Amino acid sequence: MEAGVAPQTAQAQPETISVTVELSAGTYAALEELSRERGITIGQALSQAITDEKWLRDRVAEGGTILLRRSNGELVTVNLP
């Protein structure tokens, strides 16, 4: 995997587990938007969000820093809660 690039998560997983979650209406709307934008199911969007979050937290745990370049060119550090 290339450094600094989150893994692609659209690949089929060898084993799946069914879960039930309760989400706020706002969180569910965001999940629907992500799934529509990517052309994937809501379950796939949720799985990708979790995988991406885990990848980011692993990089920070390794001593990495998450940087965001704003449209004006300003570089800011993103702190995860």
Sign, Cα dihedral of 8, 11, 15, 17: positive
What average pLDDT is seen over the chain?
89
Per-residue pLDDT band at 1 (split at 50, 70, 90): very low
Give start and end residues of each alpha helix (H) in 1-81: 25-38, 42-61
Can you give the pLDDT at residue 21? 93
pLDDT digits 0-9 by tens, 4-39: 666 555 566 568 889 999 999 999 999 999 999 999
Compute the average pLDDT of residues 52-64. Answer: 96
CA angle at 58 for the pair 46 and 33, rounded to the nearest 5°: 20
